[in-house]
Amino acid sequence: MSGTDTILKEVPVREAVGLRLAHDLTQIIPGQFKGRLFKKGHVITEADIPSLLDIGKEHIYIMELGESELHEDDAAIRMAMALAGEGIALSDPHEGKVSLKAAMQGLALVDQILVEAINELGEVALATVKTNSVVQEGRALAATRAIPLTVPKAKVEEVERLAAEYRAANEGEAPLRVVPFRKLRAGLLTTGGEVFSGRIQDKFGPAVRSKLEAFGSEVAEQRFAPDDRQIIVKEIHYLLEQRYDMILVTGGMSVDPDDRTPGAIKASGADIVSYGTPMLPGSMLLMGYLNGVPIMGLPGCVMHDPYTSFDVLLPRILAGQTIVREDIVRMGYGGLNNG
């Protein structure tokens, strides 16, 4: 046999003892179980016959592949191996699908252009999470899939070529990878006369601590300042002198005349990437760098909303990214959180 011809032989199940299955067979018990009953390549035994009949298989396929074709499982695993980089573990192939799972908590980096190029090929598919998504250990960030039972080998080779081309253009980095979060120590400055005087209880501190601790980082020190630009600048410089990895300034981020925080951050000498983001909630967030140290002015929504612009940018900073103006501009697409 040669060429691309695949021979599928249909065999009555009672005559299949000693033959190998051409593909996985799935069993579904409504409300109880759905999974693989027999794996591709399994050699049918006499004891298997009742189970095959139970799932409605009176005939099974025995398949002989052409030289230019791949079985769905082989196609899926080859694509996954070509695409996966550091921080990713592969599942076993099952019914033409391989899951790419995070080996640790981290930030998923996915090249959207490559994903679309692969899905343009047809007969193969790649589904992923969005790039810069937070993934937990053991959770899938992508899956490769062969659509038909057999796939032209040339399609898979094209996926491998695209992946190799990407690596060559990106210093060996894979198009799909997980970057672990760094464990950073942050200095937190809470502004506002009402909190500084003890008139109201600080709620920013617990909220910010909780968000950092979820990624393995910590608020190393929290300080308080009234709505006085000079004092806020002095406190920012103090936190910088402590060599913290990040400076977070909370409160006083609105356009009210009493809110001094944005001006104080600028007066501290910080390079402002953006004051304001096209995302709701969190449009009043300030992002900047002070002597290379990330500094952020956090709006009030960080205290009470579960997902804000801070929750978008924080994981990227913890993964070692430098935030630029273009990153802020892109936050508007998909940036309306109605939850």
| Total-model pTM | 0.85
Give the tens place of pLDDT for each residue, 74-114: 999 999 999 999 999 999 998 899 999 999 999 999 999 99
- CA 217, distance to chain mean position in Å, is 19
pLDDT, mean of residues 212-227: 97
Is the predicted pLDDT of residue 301 greater than 80, yes or no?
A: yes
Distance of alpha carbon 328 from alpha carbon 200, whole angstroms: 33
pLDDT, mean of residues 210-222: 98
- Residue 229 carries which DSSP code? H
Instruction: Work out the pLDDT band at 7, boundaries 50, 70, 90.
Output: low
Domain 185-332: give its CATH superfamily: MoaB/Mog-like domain (3.40.980.10)
Is the predicted pLDDT of residue 123 greater than 70, yes or no?
A: yes
pLDDT, mean of residues 225-236: 95
pLDDT score for 258: 55
Q: Greatest CA separation found in the chain?
A: 88
Domain 7-64: give its CATH superfamily: Molybdopterin biosynthesis moea protein, domain 2 (3.90.105.10)
Measured between alpha carbons, how far apart are the two ends of the chain, in Å? 59
pLDDT, mean of residues 257-275: 89
pLDDT, mean of residues 15-36: 83
Is the predicted pLDDT of residue 1 greater than 60, yes or no?
A: no
Q: Which residues contact 326 (CB under 8 A, 6 or more apart)?
A: none
Instruction: Pinpoint the residues of the chain covered by CATH 3.90.1170.30.
Output: 69-180
Is the predicted pLDDT of residue 49 greater than 60, yes or no?
A: yes
As a dihedral over the C-alpha atoms of residue 196, residue 202, residue 204, residue 205, rounded to 10 degrees, the angle is 90
Instruction: Pinpoint the residues of the chain covered by CATH 3.40.980.10.
Output: 185-332
* Average pLDDT over the chain, rounded to an integer: 92
Domain 69-180 coded CATH 3.90.1170.30: yes
pLDDT score for 32: 85
pLDDT, mean of residues 134-152: 95
Three-state secondary structure call for residue 81: helix
Q: Are 60 and 13 in contact (CB under 8 A)?
A: yes
Instruction: Work out the pLDDT band at 3, boundaries 50, 70, 90.
Output: very low
Find tokens 């695993």 and name the residue: 77
pLDDT score for 186: 98
Instruction: Work out the pLDDT band at 255, boundaries 50, 70, 90.
Output: low
- Residue 29 carries which DSSP code? E
Share of the chain above pLDDT 90, in %: 76
Q: Are 262 and 300 in contact (CB under 8 A)?
A: no
- What is the radius of gyration, based on Cα positions, of the chain? 27
Distance of alpha carbon 237 from alpha carbon 268, whole angstroms: 7
Distance of alpha carbon 178 from alpha carbon 107, whole angstroms: 5
Distance of alpha carbon 235 from alpha carbon 268, whole angstroms: 9
pLDDT score for 106: 98
Is the predicted pLDDT of residue 22 greater than 80, yes or no?
A: no
For 57, list phi and psi in degrees, rounded to 5. Answer: -100, 90
Structure tokens at 311: 């929750």
Residue 153 CB neighbours (<10 A): 18
Structure tokens at 233: 């600048």
Strand ranges inside 129-217, DSSP E: 133-135, 140-146, 150-152, 176-180, 185-191
Q: Are 58 and 13 in contact (CB under 8 A)?
A: yes
Structure tokens at 296: 């952020």
Is the predicted pLDDT of residue 6 greater than 70, yes or no?
A: no
pLDDT score for 272: 97
For 160, list phi and psi in degrees, rounded to 5. Answer: -65, -40
